[in-house]
Structure 1
Amino acid sequence: MRSGAPALAAALVVGLAALFAPVAVVAQTPVYGYELVRTFPHDPGAFTQGLVFEKGLLLESTGRAPSTVRRVRLEDGAVLTRRELDPAFFGEGLTVVGDRVVTLTWTSGKAFVWDRETLRPLGEFAYAGEGWGLTTDGQRLILSDGTPALRFFDPATMAETGRVPVTLNGRPLAMLNELEWVEGEVFANVWQTDFIVRIDPATGVVTGIIDLTNLMPDRSGLDPTDAVLNGIAWDPEGRRLFVTGKNWPKLFEIRLTGPR
């Protein structure tokens, strides 16, 4: 989500604090920790909105002006290919479908399609509501829009085919930002928190919480409101999990531990 969020969003963030607080105490939902495996450089100018590991490289979308879509070398964070969106659009989530990259925009109701290898623009399509996070299960696009729901789209027609409400301990969970498909689950950043939730895509139930508190404790010089955890990429062949944040100078490979 872009900076300068409306008052409603701020109120929801406050509600999230109350929602997560009892989880840590009564452990209604399993809470996972992490081990740090490796640290990589990350462009601190990247206001990360979408992140995918694909064929040895990272594909990343960023917000703010100019919003971009880019191909990034994992080892040193070098941007190999970069395309800018028109300044009228605020870039959001990203996923890969076959030989195409699909990226969302925040409030414009428009998604863009790019060639996976060159990021050459291939087209666009419209959708209702806001665009936050995007991933795919290989059959459907899965979109988050700030509400407590996951929405499903046909990647061939780009028509919405359904949605599921997202709940944590029986209560609606909104503010789901960047999404990633990980071995049958949807992993979702919860905006302005250090938590990632694991969601059953069939029911919308949060089956686990990943606590990434202190992953990057030194955030001096970063905007405390905007420079938040956001960005999840899964390497299915190497079974590696990567995470980063908006304007973070580092990207982390982590291994989950627990639950505790």
Structure 2
Amino acid sequence: MKQKLFPIFLIIALFVTTFSCSSKSEKRARKPVSTITVQPEKAQYICGEKVSVNVKTKLRDGELKSVNLYLQNKLITESNELDFTEKYIELKEVGTVSIGVHAEKTDGLKNTRSKAITVLSDVKPAQFSYQVLNNYPHLTTSYTQGLEYHNGFIYEGTGEKGHSRLMKIDVSTGKPLQVFEMDDKYFGEGITILNNKIYQLTYRAQKGFVYDLETLAVTDSFTYASPEGWGLANDGKNLIMSDGTHVLTWISPDDFSVVKKLQVGNDRTLMANLNELEYVNGFIYANVYTSDYIVKIDAATGKIVEEINMAGIINLYHKQGERIDYLNGIAYDAENDRMFVTGKLYSRLFEVKFISK
């Protein structure tokens, strides 16, 4: 019996030893590891500036097959060197810019590394103030989140759960002509009108609604990935959405897919808290939440070209003790070249002219 068992144990031992050695051999294979260095090294860069990017890749075993360098997910360089530098890379976009490296060995093991840098605008914004040309009544119960002028009427979307509405309003009297009350579970946000439809966002439900322009009846709904919905506008083709960050998102009204994203900034910072929006002739006017400022953004580049200081407008016609909140609401009458602004719980809708300082 012992003579018969010995070969079996020997076979098992040999199998375990072979498997163990094989496992150790597999464990020894390592992914390539790359490091990215940008020169000059700075906290912030300026749009149009040129930089050099050095990539060093370390291998613990095997041979390098390729190293690809990307800027904002666009391929810049293909290399098979462990250490190389790509010079004179122009930073063309405002925002948080990603520099990525994808390294692969001949055995198929691969790895990805990335580095983010901040790129500011090369445009110094012109400074503007305002002049009030006319003013009209505005409901002090309206927590304004969206404002639009269309065919002689103001359309307004309001927020706060239990008080969120979509309204068609007579400009001269401020009285609602049509009202749609949203479900109490929704906090209404920005609105825009495109192709005889009204689109409205909600705050944190990640859901938007589509209304018939004539009846204000809900005809459709859609979802979006941003955790929050803030402002909404359109460029005649796509919806443009803000979400409280420095990023604007273009959305197709056909299938609600993301068309593109645009980061917004001036020569000092990336501009977070972009709120209510209005698109006018290739530019986007945006309220900056919790501030007195409206910024004018180049819709092609994200660069802020004007900063409009609306300080003091909150106090016009405001009675002591009445509840009032931040400036929020921009609407443009293209036919008569009129700009309207208001705010959350404001008693007036203002027709204004922006004046260069």
TM-score range, shorter chain: 0.7 to 0.9
Is the aligned partner of 1:243 residue 2:341?
yes
Cα offsets for 1:65-88 (capped at 9, x unmatched): 221001000001010000111111
CA-atom RMSD in angstroms: 1.3
Q: 1:88 aligns with which of 181, 185, 198?
A: 185
Which segments of structure 1 move beyond 4 Å, counting only runs of 4 or more? Answer: none
Q: TM-score, normalised by structure 2?
A: 0.63
What secondary structure sits across from 1:167 in the alignment? coil
Whether the aligned pair in 1 keeps the contact of 2:222 and 2:256 (CA below 8 Å) is: yes
Q: Give the Cα–Cα distance (whole angstroms) in 2 for the partners of residues 204 and 243 of structure 1.
A: 22
Q: How does 1:212-223 map to 2 (within 5 A)?
A: 212-218=310-316, 219=318, 220-223=320-323
| Aligned-pair CA distance for 1:127 | 0.5
Q: Give the Cα–Cα distance (whole angstroms) in 1 for the partners of residues 302 and 247 of structure 2.
A: 8
Q: How does 1:48-127 map to 2 (within 5 A)?
A: 48-64=144-160, 65-127=162-224
Is the aligned partner of 1:204 residue 2:204?
no
Q: 2:249 aligns with which of 151, 155, 172?
A: 151
| Aligned-pair CA distance for 1:187 | 0.2
Cα offsets for 1:95-123 (capped at 9, x unmatched): 00111000000110000000111101111
Cα offsets for 1:223-246 (capped at 9, x unmatched): 46xx11000000000000000000
Structure 1 range deviating more: 90-99 or 28-37: 28-37
Q: Tell me the equivalent position of 1:40.
A: 136
Identity of matched residues, %: 37
* Greater share of residues in strand: 2
Q: How does 1:181-196 map to 2 (within 5 A)?
A: 181-196=279-294
Q: Give the Cα–Cα distance (whole angstroms) in 1 for the partners of residues 256 and 188 of structure 2.
A: 18
Structure 1 stretches of 5 or more lacking a match?
1-26
Structure 1 range deviating more: 169-178 or 77-86: 169-178
Give the counterpart letter for 1:54 in structure 2. Answer: H
Whether the aligned pair in 2 keeps the contact of 1:187 and 1:198 (CA below 8 Å) is: yes
Whether the aligned pair in 2 keeps the contact of 1:244 and 1:251 (CA below 8 Å) is: yes
| Aligned-pair CA distance for 1:221 | 2.4
Whether the aligned pair in 2 keeps the contact of 1:66 and 1:86 (CA below 8 Å) is: no
Whether the aligned pair in 1 keeps the contact of 2:136 and 2:174 (CA below 8 Å) is: yes
What secondary structure sits across from 1:172 in the alignment? coil
Q: Give the Cα–Cα distance (whole angstroms) in 1 for the partners of residues 205 and 152 of structure 2.
A: 32
Q: Give the Cα–Cα distance (whole angstroms) in 1 for the partners of residues 163 and 326 of structure 2.
A: 19
Q: Give the Cα–Cα distance (whole angstroms) in 2 for the partners of residues 248 and 75 of structure 1.
A: 15
| Aligned-pair CA distance for 1:222 | 4.0
Give the counterpart letter for 1:203 in structure 2. Answer: T
| Aligned-pair CA distance for 1:139 | 1.0
Aligned residues: 231
Greater relative contact order (Cα < 8 A, sep 6+): 1
Q: Give the Cα–Cα distance (whole angstroms) in 2 for the partners of residues 188 and 83 of structure 1.
A: 25
Q: Tell me the equivalent position of 1:176.
A: 274
What secondary structure sits across from 2:315 in the alignment? coil
